[in-house]
Amino acid sequence: MSNKINTIGIPSEEEIKKAQIDFSPRCTAAGRVNDKETQKMVEYILNFARKHSLFVLAYGTGCGAIEIPATMTSRYDAERFGIRGAATPRQADVLLITGYLSTKTLKRVIRVYEQMQDPKYVIAFGSCTINGGMYFDSYNTIKALDRYLPVDVYIAGCMPRPESVIKGFIKLQELIQNGNAGNGECYRDNLDWYRTNQQKIIKNWDFPDEYNW
Amino acid sequence: MDLIHNLKEVFEIDAKIKNDFQIEVEAKKELVSSILLYLKNQHGFIHLDHMSCVDWIEDEVFELVYIVWNPNTKKTVLLHTKIDRNKPEMENIDTIWDQANTYEREFREMYGIEFPGLVAEREFILEGWTEMPPMRRDFDTKKYAEETYATRPGRENAEDVREKIIKRTGEEIPDFAKKYSRD
Ligand code: SF4
């Protein structure tokens, strides 16, 4: 096989791994072994607590924010999983990217993400964050979010319905329990790589030089 | 109709009746502001509905459309004008309607049309934009997007991949979805 990735049909597992390494070499949390035996007991209990109290930053971009009221209110009632809103980035655990991001919004989102306290998680909604979706040829929206921010869970769809949103959250809870979620530390360690990518598309860069938030 | 007659009389332009509610007028760009002022003061078209711009790259012109509305008669006038695409410049009308300021800022940013005397920040929706104004038709947005933003490799055919996904993840196709199988 040539080294061109998945030209026909669905890629095999090796090809996916290779593509992930090529494409997003940083902050793929999967692979950390952290099950009950190897994990410290304190970590285990902390993770258990974290997974049942996910404070979601009340922030929405793109079309997907419209699914959030439906997910939170009585019909789907996300609060039974411990998911609820938080008013400011510093109080929040989860950042939802609910759709396409223009470069202008991306700048604000990065700022918000950096202000959040560890442990912090990112859930990205919809095909726009995965591969550009119907904005694939737009001059002003990014096409692959994990180049600019570490993403824990992607939810496919255009737009995903509240059922899928809840499924995404449950997946995140699973990852948290296994100790595989939360890339804040990794983001800090690989800041250079992320900064290079971010600065390539954000033209009027005026962030502080040092990691000082 | 009164309006059409008056326009002919005062500005020597022909207005067309499009339908019961719309009247279409085409005018030279020098006349636009006087016509708009005349419509506003003499005929009660006190509301600027909309302004838009069309890029006719083949004819080398930008077409600007001003839509004004009369709340008493519920009639609309669509005023078209054409300006040179190579040296796009248009009269500023935000002295007639304040809200025109916003439209003109957008035209300036998205099409590069200059409005001498327009008082507003140059940067409006885009941030730090250095290319050609992006709404112009000769701006290749797909090429620009491919060069600027990282893309994720994807599938290139429409093969039914559910079998493979099942094998990989151990999930099952739910009953209701089986009937959509391709074979
Ligand atoms: S994936 Fe679809 S619904 Fe979601 S932001 Fe993109 S276009 Fe909108």
pLDDT-based confidence at A16, cuts 50/70/90? low
Whether residue A202 has pLDDT greater than 80: yes
- Please give the pLDDT value at position B82: 94
pLDDT band at A24 (very low <50, low <70, confident <90, very high): low
Ligand 1 pocket test, pick from A68, A101, A159 with the greatest ligand atom count within 8 Å of Cβ, gives A159
Q: What is the pLDDT of residue A207?
A: 82
- The average pLDDT across A190-196 equals 84
Stretch 87-126 of chain B: residues touching chain A, C-beta under 8 Å? 125-126
Query: Does residue A8 carry a pLDDT above 50?
Result: no
By most ligand atoms within 8 Å of CB, the mutation choice from A128, A137, A154, A164 for ligand 1 is: A128
* Amino acid A25: pLDDT: 47
- H helices then E strands: how many in chain A? 8, 5
Q: Report the alpha-carbon distance of residue B94 to residue A128 in Å, rounded.
A: 37
Asked if A104's CB is within 8 angstroms of B153's CB, the reply is: no
Please list every residue in chain B whose beta carbon sits closer than 8 Å to the beta carbon of residue A136: 145
Give A38's pLDDT tier (boundaries 50, 70, 90).
Answer: low
The reported pTM is: 0.80
Q: What is the CATH number of domain B2-129?
A: 3.30.460.80
Chain A interface with B: residues with Cβ < 8 Å? 5-10, 13, 19, 23, 103-104, 107, 130-132, 136-144, 147, 197, 200-204
| B128–A141 CB contact, under 8 Å | no
**Which of A29-33, A101-105, A177-181 has the weakest average pLDDT?**
A29-33
Please check whether residue B141 is in contact with residue A137, taking contact to mean a CB–CB distance below 8 angstroms: yes
Q: In this predicted structure, what is the pLDDT of residue A36?
A: 54
Per-residue pLDDT, averaged over A14-38, amounts to 54
Average per-residue pLDDT for chain A:
81
pLDDT band for position A31 (cuts 50, 70, 90): very low
| CB contacts, 8 Å: B159 with chain A | 8-10
> Any residues with Cβ below 6 Å from ligand 1, and which?
A 62-64, 99-100, 126-128, 133-134, 158-159
Q: Locate tokens 């959250």: which residue?
A: A169
Q: What is the pLDDT of residues A93-152, one digit of tens each?
A: 999 999 999 999 999 999 999 988 888 999 999 888 988 888 888 898 998 888 888 888
Residue A4 is predicted with a pLDDT of 43
**Which pairs with CB-CB distance under 8 Å and at least 24 residues apart come from B146-151?**
B148/A139, B148/A200, B148/A201, B149/A132, B149/A141, B149/A142, B149/A143, B149/A144, B149/A201, B150/A23, B150/A142, B150/A143, B150/A144, B150/A147, B150/A197, B151/A131, B151/A132, B151/A143, B151/A144
Q: Which residues of B touch A145 (CB under 8 A)?
A: none
What the block records as the tokens of B63 is: 């077409």
Give the pLDDT of residue A2.
Answer: 39
Q: Are B45 and B100 a contacting pair, CB within 8 Å?
A: no
- CA distances to A120, B105, B132 from B56, rounded to whole Å, are 50, 20, 17
ipTM over 0.95: no
- Three-state secondary-structure class, residue A198: helix
Pocket probe for ligand 1: among A63, A97, A138, the residue whose CB has the most ligand atoms within 8 Å is A63
Q: Which residues numbered 120-179 in B keep a CB inside 8 Å of some CB on A?
A: 125-131, 134, 139, 141-142, 144-145, 148-157, 159, 161, 164-165, 168
Q: Please tell me the distance between residue A38's alpha carbon and the centre of ligand 1 in angstroms.
A: 40
Q: CA A93, CA A117: separation in Å to the nearest integer? A: 7
End-to-end CA gap in chain B: 66
Q: How far apart are CA A105 and CA B127, in angstroms?
A: 10
For A54-86, write each residue's pLDDT tens digit: 999 988 888 888 889 999 999 999 899 989 889
pLDDT at A197 over 90: no
The residue ranges of every structural domain in chain B are 2-129, 140-183
- Which atom, in ligand 1's list, is nearest to the CA of A62? 5
- Local confidence band at A5 (pLDDT 50, 70, 90 cut-offs): very low
pLDDT at position B180, please? Answer: 67
Task: For each of the domains in chain A, give its residue range(s) and CATH number, in order of start.
Answer: 54-190 (3.40.50.12280)
Nearest CB to A139 within list B144, B153, B155? B144
Residue B18's alpha-carbon distances to B14, B48, B76, in angstroms, are: 13, 19, 10
- pLDDT for residue A22 is more than 60: no
Tell me the per-residue pLDDT of B103-116, one tens digit each, with 9 for 90 and over.
Answer: 999 999 999 999 99
Residue of A140, A141, A147, A163 for testing the chain B interface, max B β-carbons within 10 Å: A140
Q: Could you read off the pLDDT tens digit of each residue along chain B, which spans 183 residues?
A: 688 888 888 888 888 888 889 999 999 989 999 999 999 999 999 999 999 999 999 999 999 999 999 999 999 999 999 999 999 999 999 899 999 999 999 999 999 999 998 998 888 888 888 889 999 999 999 899 888 888 877 777 777 777 777 777 777 777 777 776 665
Q: Which long-range contacts (CB under 8 A, 24 or more apart) does B54-62 make?
A: B55/B85, B55/B111, B55/B135, B55/B136, B55/B137, B56/B82, B56/B85, B57/B85, B57/B136, B57/B137, B57/B138, B60/B84, B60/B85, B60/B86, B61/B85, B62/B88, B62/B111, B62/B113
**Residue B127: closest C-alpha in chain A:** A104
Chain-chain contact of B130 with A107 (C-beta, under 8 angstroms): no
Residue B157 has its nearest CB partner, among A9, A136, A201, at A9
